[in-house]
Structure 1
Amino acid sequence: MSTEQRVSWSDSFSEAQTAIQSLTTIISSVPPSVSSSDTPAVALLNDPELATQISDHLRQPDSGAGDNQLCRWLYDTFHTSKLDLQLVVLRFLPIVAGMYLSRIPLRKPLAGFEAVLLAIYAHETTSRNGQAMTVNIPDLSHPSVYHESRQPYNNASTDLNQVVVSPGLEPQGTIRSTKRAQIIGVALELYHSRISEIPVQSKVDFCEFCVVWAGEDGEFYKDFPNEDKKDEEDHEMMKEKKEGRILLPWEMLQPMLRILGHCVMGINKKNKELHEAACGACRSLYARAIHDINPKAILAVGSLLKLINYQKACVDHTELPVTRIIHL
């Protein structure tokens, strides 16, 4: 280990220890396995007992206010600029965003939650340097390299269409109602970018809040695409869950679906609790998309439901069929 690496590790270790010491003044007890760990940031991230205590605090009726100590701790911890400590804050983003969005109609003071969300948004604004996140997709009006064409293949960059995944960000000092979805959506994009490092329980929390945000009962779509259920009586079985329903603009729904895609198809897809929670969230969001008559959302969430069905069928559609018949 070089001298520079030792200094970096020492700084990260000391800042994680400082974060733990600050946390001891907020929650009832920090587990000894965390306070005495050789890797305190990892312990902060993965200890289930500590995560439960922090989650319970964030769900309390008076959490989220400007003078809330735990929100202040999350804010300060994220501003350490240490990636491992920032990941600890992202681990609790689903609860912060979920409780924040659910309490907006109650007109409660939520400056603590807003400070955490704005800290994450400001971090992304700085890291992106005002640039939009884009991807290049092929122009389907031109032949691909895998198909024959009478015209020679042209590989010019003009044959690519640039698609904006996330627009350029402007600094925000407060969370206005017109910018709320964008700020939370950007925070969820950062959450998704590091989702492989985030504990499973955090992803389960996210899926549960997706059901709340959708505000619809998705059980009708448990056997998606329900081709054999076309009677109106079946549709009447879709009971709405109005409480907790929020607006779901595309700038927020898009990162939500990416996260759910990971939960359904990612490294933890064999975790039964997470998989069931993600499937339930997809069904609720599909019911919401149908209710809102949102074609883009119907297509996107419907695709996730089809992937879930493919998993149930245990069929690998990339495998070539085995047959004894020779076609001449």
Structure 2
Amino acid sequence: MPPSPSSAGAGAASPSPSPSASASASDPTPSWWESVSQARSRILALSSILPPPASHDVAALADSDRPARALLRSPAAYAALSDALRAGGGAGDPACHWLYDTLLSADADLRLAALAFLPLLAALYLRRLPPQLPSSLSGFEAVLLAVYSSEAKNRQGKPVLVQVPDLSVPSLYHTPASTPSSKSPRRHQPPLIPPPQATPVVGVLSPPLELQAAVKSTKRAGIIGVAFEAYYSKISQMPAASKVDACNAAAVWAGQYCKCRFELDEKELEEEEGDSLGSVSPMSSEAENGKELVEELARMRIYGDRSGRNCREDYDKEARVPLPWELLQPVMRVLGHCLLAPLNPVEVRDAAAGAVRVVYARACHDLVPQAILASRSLVELDMSARKAAKEAAAVASGAIVAAGTDGSTALSSRPSSKPNTPSKQRKPDTLLVSK
């Protein structure tokens, strides 16, 4: 059974969570001042369970205009609470107690600040599960059940459906109407038979949720998958460190750090080198493009060396877990956002690129068609995006070099006529100013 918020870390946290929980139960939509006061109390409760160097930085966030949003965007607070979670996880863990009470808060920004630690918490939970007793991980299970119960309450016993049109039935745009020619004599034409109506195919994206009192072994993947669905619904507001932890968790869970995860990259490199250099081997070629892609692939091998062999084999074997589709499907959606969202920083996209390749190798070894299709699509999208970025950078660098041949140091919007023709000085622009 998961620990209650009163039993988990009762002596370490400040007494402020209990009035906030009662206020959230009585008033589901608190006012602005109540939200600020709740956020300040939660931040002060967090600073009381952190070591002194980080506690002062976290406590200073309570003085901002929007404390919950400042807590969500603070790298120091995320790093400090992450270290506390790595050292805890039991029933009396104050960090899990703080996350549990914060998830029950009525403030949306506070719930986002707690939900940002979900990928790290799930990764730590699944990694420690085989060697340790379940009682030592009841703090992690309480947080996971809190997210699961909130999602079950929001869905009200209904499944999440997706409608896909029936592709076997031609649409109106695929059956054009045959109009009579003006030169040919007018003939009697039979009336056009409208195409049959396409009935949408309804697919179950997520089944109805049942309330769970404990994290059972048969329901564990489903509970974590629902938690990742809740995380994905708010992923655009999550900090970059949380997204990197989500990508690293997916890669570690897959655990397939073999050479075949770069199969698609090397195949594309062979095709490019075959078109430009004939039958030269891409991995042994000294061409500039080949070396750049090989260096990029080696940089993306976060958990291995350049030979493709994993340098952390013991850790990855322990962290490798079964990946049923109910867990892998929301994880793939998270990886897709981290890989393709334009506002993500470079470290998030690189972590997602390495993770989808590891998942692709795991899916190929396990022969899971759905996982192969999803992961291969993401890998190909990543390759096309990187190729387009390289071409754009090459065009930009060529334009800079071309603009610098006539002695100028900046790009010019007007093309120069001849290199030997002296350029005239441009008159200063005269702005019309009303007196």
1:223–1:10 CA distance, 2 compared to 1 (3 A): same
Q: Deviation of residue 52 (structure 1)?
A: 0.7
Aligned 1:49-60 pairs, distance under 5 A: 49-60=76-87
Q: Deviation of residue 35 (structure 1)?
A: 2.2
1:309 to 380, 383, 390: 383
Partner residue in 2 for 1:249: 324
Aligned 1:118-267 pairs, distance under 5 A: 118-148=145-175, 151-155=193-197, 159-217=199-257, 220-222=260-262, 224=264, 226-227=266-267, 241-267=316-342
For residues 282-301 of structure 1, what are the alpha-carbon distances to aligned partners after superposition, in whole Å with 9 as ceiling and x for unaligned?
A: 01111111111111111110
CA distance in 1: counterparts of 2:379 and 2:263, whole angstroms? 9
SS at match of 1:314: helix
Which amino acid is the alignment partner of residue 179 of structure 1? Answer: K
Which amino acid is the alignment partner of residue 126 of structure 1? Answer: K
1:93 corresponds to 2:118: yes
1:45–1:142 CA distance, 2 compared to 1 (3 A): same
Q: Deviation of residue 113 (structure 1)?
A: 0.4
Would the aligned equivalents of 1:16 and 1:85 in 2 still touch at CA under 8 Å?
A: yes
2:100 to 52, 71, 75: 75
1:7–1:119 CA distance, 2 compared to 1 (3 A): closer
1:267–1:195 CA distance, 2 compared to 1 (3 A): farther
Q: What's the Cα RMSD here?
A: 2.2
Which amino acid is the alignment partner of residue 350 of structure 2? Answer: E
Would the aligned equivalents of 2:39 and 2:62 in 1 still touch at CA under 8 Å?
A: no
**TM-score, normalised relative to structure 2:** 0.65
Which amino acid is the alignment partner of residue 11 of structure 1? Answer: E
Partner residue in 2 for 1:112: 139
For residues 231-250 of structure 1, what are the alpha-carbon distances to aligned partners after superposition, in whole Å with 9 as ceiling and x for unaligned?
A: xxxxx956564230001000
Would the aligned equivalents of 1:67 and 1:112 in 2 still touch at CA under 8 Å?
A: yes
Partner residue in 2 for 1:232: none
Which amino acid is the alignment partner of residue 36 of structure 2? Answer: F
Partner residue in 2 for 1:297: 371
**TM-score, normalised relative to structure 1:** 0.86
CA distance in 2: counterparts of 1:70 and 1:196, whole angstroms? 25
1:268–1:243 CA distance, 2 compared to 1 (3 A): farther
The share of aligned pairs that are identical, in percent, is 44
1:154–1:15 CA distance, 2 compared to 1 (3 A): farther
Partner residue in 1 for 2:34: 11
Give the paired residue count. 300
Partner residue in 1 for 2:355: 281
Would the aligned equivalents of 1:136 and 1:160 in 2 still touch at CA under 8 Å?
A: yes
1:67–1:297 CA distance, 2 compared to 1 (3 A): same
Would the aligned equivalents of 1:131 and 1:168 in 2 still touch at CA under 8 Å?
A: yes
Q: Deviation of residue 221 (structure 1)?
A: 2.9
Larger radius of gyration: 2
Would the aligned equivalents of 1:212 and 1:243 in 2 still touch at CA under 8 Å?
A: no
Partner residue in 1 for 2:75: 48
CA distance in 2: counterparts of 1:200 and 1:268, whole angstroms? 10
Would the aligned equivalents of 2:162 and 2:203 in 1 still touch at CA under 8 Å?
A: yes
SS at match of 1:163: strand
For residues 149-195 of structure 1, what are the alpha-carbon distances to aligned partners after superposition, in whole Å with 9 as ceiling and x for unaligned?
A: 66414556xx0010000000000010000000000000000100010
CA distance in 2: counterparts of 1:54 and 1:257, whole angstroms? 26
